[in-house]
Structure formats: C-alpha cells, structure tokens
Amino acid sequence: MSATPLPLAPTPSGDADFDAMEVARARSIKSVYVYEAPVRVWHWINALAITVLGVTGYFIGSPLPTMPGEASDHFVMGYIRFAHFAAGYLLAIGLLGRIYWAIVGNHHAREMFWVPIFQRAYWVEVLGMLKWYAFLSERPGRYVGHNPLARFAMVFSFLLTAVFMVLTGFALYAEGSQAGSWQDKAFGWIIPLFGQSQDVHTLHHLGLWVLLSFVIVHVYAAIREDIMGRSSVISTMISGYRTFKD
C-alpha cells in the first residue's frame, strides 16, 4: 500500500492536537482505526431495534384487520406489542451503553453527542458537505470520523429523537404497568407534561416518521459516500477502519 499524502479537512472539534495526530496517521498508512468494537456492535443492534420498532409501531398505530374466529385463539397484536416492547428495551439499554462508551471510548466515540455549533469553521464545513450532497462540488473534504453534516444529523435528527421516543415510549408503557410500577414512578410525569395520553401517542407516532426519515437519508448518504466519496463508510462500521481513496 502506497503512502500517498492525503489532504484531510480540519475538524473544528476542539481537539485539534488529537485530530492532527489522526490525520498524520491517515497520511502515512491511508487507513485509521476509528470505531471501536462496542460502537460497531451498538450500531447494528440499534439498526435492528429501530427496524423492529418501526414495523411493529406502524401496526400498533394502524392495526391489522380483525382475525376470523374466536379472539382467544389469536394473539397477533399481542406478539406485535411484545416485539415492540422488547425492541424498545433494547434501544433504551443500548443508548445507556452508548453513553457509557462515549465516556470511556476513544475520541470518535464522543462525536455523536455534541456539535461545535459556535465555531464558524464548523458551519463552513457543513456548507461544503451540503454542496457535495447537492452535486455542486466535485469532491468532499476528508474526515477521519463523522463529517460535520453527519454529526449534526446524528445529534439533532437521531439522538434527540431516539431519547424522546424512549421517554415517551416508557411513559405509554407505564399506563399498562399501572400506578406504582417502576415505569410509572420513573416516567409517569411525561404524560401530564404533554397534556394527555393521546397527545403523547400522537407525538410518539410522529417520532416514528422522523426516525424513519433519518434512516432513509442515513442509508442513502452512506451508500453514496462509499461509491462517490473519498473514504469508506459501510465497511468502516464493520471493520472499524476508515480507508481513504486516492
């Protein structure tokens, strides 16, 4: 493998020295170990949980037609609700684990939890990535971790929505667990905060479409970047290594 210098774009993350070291490594070996194993495992488990939540959540909001025969012979919606609740627990536990790894993991494990929105250089780079995705520039900047636009989407489209969905989901779950349950004690305050149960149901259902919209854009951007960009994306979330193209 040749050691062709790679002009990576600066990352306005506040960790300039660390990024400079990462860039130096990329220039010398053309690949950088970015995502540690816990981050990659969380990513794919999270993808599975969101898929199950999306499908089952849709049918909970728009139930299947009534099954023929005695109601006691069927448990279709019961299985759907069980899968939804199990995936919800998986999503919530995964988020807690991901927060922990953001504390103990490497520099890139923390990128999903904050954005340097008060730095002008960050917004300049966001504009550059918008031009790239709009086919208005020939080549994107090179970034070791998430590019600036991806970081913004992760924080404000995925993370905040996922946290909202977990909170409202457990609040609705608490209604079935009834007063006095740990779900009611921990999340019972959420429904009065938004008005009434139906209001939370509606907001929770709208959150489903926000997450699905994020997933569609996320998958498109990842595939597009692998084909047209200057660095690996999908394979990076499998191997952990970001490989830079000539």
Class of 33-243 in CATH: mainly alpha
Which residues, 6 or more positions from 159, have their beta carbon under 8 angstroms from its beta carbon? 112, 113
pLDDT of residue 227: 86
Assign 6 to helix, strand or coil: coil
Q: What is the pLDDT at residue 6?
A: 46
Question: In the Cβ-directed half-sphere of 159, how many Cα atoms lie within 13 Å?
Answer: 16
170 vs 176: CA distance, rounded Å: 10
According to the model, what pLDDT value does residue 1 have? 43
Domain-by-domain residue ranges, the chain? 33-243
Residue 241 per-residue DSSP state? E
Q: Any bridge partners for residue 33, and if so which?
A: 241
What does the DSSP assignment read for 171-206?
Answer: HHHHHHH-TTSHHHHHHTTHHHHHSSHHHHHHHHHH
Cα-Cα-Cα-Cα torsion 53, 197, 202, 52, nearest 10 degrees, comes to 0
- Residue 122, pLDDT score: 92
Write out the chain's pLDDT in tens, 246 residues: 444 444 445 455 556 666 666 666 655 557 889 999 999 999 999 999 999 999 999 999 888 887 777 777 788 888 999 999 999 999 999 999 999 999 999 989 999 898 999 999 999 999 999 999 888 988 887 888 888 999 999 999 899 999 999 999 999 999 988 888 899 999 999 999 999 999 999 999 999 999 999 999 999 999 988 888 878 889 899 999 998 876
